[in-house]
């Protein structure tokens, strides 16, 4: 199901009892964070919060719109996002090429084209351009942009969809990269070195040119999710969003840059980046639960702000888990599992527990058939797109429920001889990892928690897990009500 825009999604949340309106004036400087953090820490993720009077701005602010299983599912227009994984699995035919990148490259566009989901190009102005501010009128101060945590380097736009085009192919990319506000018409751009936006900027810089960017807020919530999804470079996030919402995304020409932007967005911030100009960005209270340290990042000079007549400002906060962004991560875990299984058919399930902040801990179960297979799965994951950031991979046998972390700890403790069953490798590390020896480079470890085979040099007997016999269980079942327990 497709939404008309983010405000339509908000209306659906409200009708489903998933939204609280807050009329009290609250300060975007730290106060909204404290309220939102308490709500996100509620056992069910609490409700979405619509702050109608953020202090200092006329624009209402929505936060925690994706912050529960139900709302993340609603954002993707389904009852439960698990069903999209099943849908993708069902659509994957044997003729689909193996390999995650090849599959995504050939399968997703084909799917979207078949379903007539490629973006539509509208002429004229979009709803996102009802108000156009250029020149001296550009002022980010109109928006209730959060200063999230006490040691943050400033205010940050936290739910931005950053649009760029590849200068060689013209192909679009949309990634979510935080945007620090430097002044009313200048911002930072925190695209990390491994991300596609950064690559587009490098390709532009090779031509001694600036890169144009559009920083989009809002639109159908499927667009916001698509910006966070680990699609291979060259796959258009707007095509993927079209597949998710079962309706093409409508795009219009931006006002001052040669980019297309979603017609239904709330706010669009247009600008240019010259990679020769870098400025200290950060610190920022990050999704690791720690502050990410300040570092040099490119600067965006705004050329326009366009918005609806009555926009809403979508945002989030990140910090110690669990937080709203954990649900964006969970959706990725479920949607991308079938694609991962194309390359690794032995994989049964995968859990990226929220405490592992997405890339620190992966729990994977496999149908093990041959010696060394757990190690093969680890190496494959470390070679697969953004899964390369996974710092610790634990591989279990098929019968282990990897969604049950307690069961995983029990199996892990019992089943490994650490010297024999671990594998340490070096490679790229997430830029936000503060423990790695240098920024972006360090080590990763895999644990083979599967039952060991003789061919793996294990010549002892492997014991069975303790379980009661079926007939005794049936007998006790029949007796149970008479036992008075």
- Three-state secondary-structure class, residue 198: helix
Q: Is 328 in the site for ligand FMN (CB under 6 A)?
A: yes
Residue 325 binds to ligand FMN (criterion: CB under 6 A): yes
Helices (H) and strands (E) counted in the chain, each on its own, are 13, 23
Choose which of 129, 187, 288, 316 interacts with ligand FMN (CB under 6 A).
316
Tell whether residue 173 is a contact of Mn ion (CB under 5 A).
yes
**Site track for ligand FMN across 197-236, x = CB under 6 A:** x------------------------------xxx------
b/e map 40-70, b = 16+ CB within 10 Å: beeeebbbbbbbeebeebebbbbbbbbbbeb
CB of 228 to ligand FMN, least distance (A): 4
Kindly tell me which of 237 and 448 has the beta carbon lying closer to Mn ion: 237
Question: Least distance from C-beta 191 to ligand FMN, angstroms?
Answer: 5
We find the least distance from the C-beta atom of residue 359 to ligand FMN, in angstroms, to be: 9
Which of Mn ion, ligand FMN, none sits in contact with 190, Cβ below 5 to 8 A by type? ligand FMN
Q: How far apart are CA 162 and CA 226, in angstroms?
A: 11
Stretch that binds ligand FMN, among 36-44, 193-201, 410-418, 469-477 (CB under 6 A): 193-201
Pair 357, 328: CB distance under 8 Å: no
- Region from 30-38, 228-236, 315-323, 370-378 binding Mn ion, contact rule CB under 5 A: 228-236
d(CA 358, CA 218): 24
Nearest approach, Cβ of residue 436 and Mn ion (Å): 24
Binding residues with ligand FMN: total (CB under 6 A):
19
Cα separation, 350 vs 386, whole angstroms: 15
CA distance linking residue 155 with residue 206, whole number of Å? 31
**Cα 284 to chain centroid, rounded:** 18
Judge contact between 94 and 75, C-beta under 8 A: no
Q: Is 190 in the site for ligand FMN (CB under 6 A)?
A: yes
Q: Judge whether 286 counts as a catalytic residue.
A: yes
User: Which does residue 247 bind out of Mn ion, ligand FMN, none, counting CB within 5 to 8 angstroms by kind?
Assistant: none
- CA distances to 367, 375, 400, 410, 451 from 414, rounded to whole Å, are 19, 18, 13, 6, 10
Q: 3-state DSSP: the chain helix, strand, coil percent, rounded to 5?
A: 35, 25, 40
- When CB distances are held under 5 to 8 angstroms depending on the partner's kind, the choice from Mn ion, ligand FMN, none that residue 178 binds is ligand FMN
Whether the ω angle into residue 190 lies within 30 degrees of 0, i.e. cis, is no
d(CA 81, CA 276): 42
Binding map of ligand FMN across residues 168-187, x = CB under 6 A, - = no contact: -----x-xxxx---------
Site string for Mn ion, 177-216 (x = CB under 5 A): -------------------x--------------------
Residues annotated catalytic, as ranges: 286
Residues forming contacts to Mn ion in the complex (CB under 5 A) are 173, 196, 231
Residues forming contacts to ligand FMN in the complex (CB under 6 A) are 173, 175-178, 190-192, 195-197, 228-230, 316, 318, 325, 328, 386
């Amino acid at each position: 199901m497709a939404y008309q825009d983010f405000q339509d999604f908000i209306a659906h949340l409200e009708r489903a009892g998933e939204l609280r309106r807050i009329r009290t004036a609250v300060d975007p400087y730290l106060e909204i964070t404290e309220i939102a953090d308490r709500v996100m820490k509620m056992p069910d993720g609490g409700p979405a919060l619509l702050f109608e009077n953020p202090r200092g701005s006329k624009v209402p602010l929505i936060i925690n719109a994706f912050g529960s299983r139900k709302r993340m599912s609603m954002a993707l227009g389904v009852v439960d996002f698990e069903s999209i994984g099943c849908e993708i699995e069902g659509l994957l035919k044997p003729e689909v090429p193996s390999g995650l990148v090849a599959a995504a490259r050939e399968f997703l566009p084909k799917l979207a084209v078949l379903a007539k989901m490629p973006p539509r190009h509208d002429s004229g102005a979009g709803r996102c351009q009802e108000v156009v501010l250029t020149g001296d009128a550009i002022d980010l101060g109109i928006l209730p942009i959060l200063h999230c945590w006490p040691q943050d380097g400033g205010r940050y736009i936290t739910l931005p969809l950053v649009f760029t085009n590849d200068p060689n192919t013209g192909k679009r990319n949309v990634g979510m990269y935080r945007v620090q506000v430097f002044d009313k018409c200048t911002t930072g751009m925190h695209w990390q070195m491994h991300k596609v936006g950064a690559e587009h900027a490098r390709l532009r810089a090779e031509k001694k040119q600036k890169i144009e960017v559009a920083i989009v807020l809002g639109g159908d919530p499927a667009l916001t999710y698509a910006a966070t999804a680990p699609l291979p470079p060259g796959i258009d996030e707007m095509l993927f969003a079209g597949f998710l919402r079962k309706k093409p995304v409508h795009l219009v020409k931006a006002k001052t840059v040669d980019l297309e932007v979603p017609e239904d967005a709330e706010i669009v911030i247009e600008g240019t980046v010259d990679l020769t100009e870098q400025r200290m960005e950060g610190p920022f209270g990050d999704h690791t639960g720690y502050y990410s340290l300040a570092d040099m990042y490119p600067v965006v000079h705004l050329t326009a702000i366009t918005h609806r007549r009555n926009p809403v400002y979508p945002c989030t906060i990140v910090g110690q888990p669990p937080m709203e962004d954990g649900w964006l991560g969970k959706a990725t875990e479920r949607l991308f599992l079938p694609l991962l299984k194309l390359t690794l058919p032995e994989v049964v399930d995968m859990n990226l527990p929220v405490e592992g902040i997405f890339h620190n801990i992966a729990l994977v179960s496999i149908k093990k058939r041959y010696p060394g297979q757990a190690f093969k799965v680890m190496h494959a994951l470390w070679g697969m797109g953004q899964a390369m950031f996974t710092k610790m991979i634990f591989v279990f046998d098929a019968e282990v429920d990897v969604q049950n972390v307690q069961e995983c700890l029990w199996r892990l403790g019992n089943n490994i001889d650490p010297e024999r069953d671990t594998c340490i490798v070096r490679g790229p590390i997430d830029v936000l990892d503060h423990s790695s020896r240098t920024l972006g480079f360090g080590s990763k470890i895999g644990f083979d928690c599967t039952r060991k085979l003789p061919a793996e040099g294990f010549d002892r007997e492997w014991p069975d897990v303790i379980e009661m016999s079926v007939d005794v269980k049936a007998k006790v079942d029949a007796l149970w009500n008479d036992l008075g327990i």
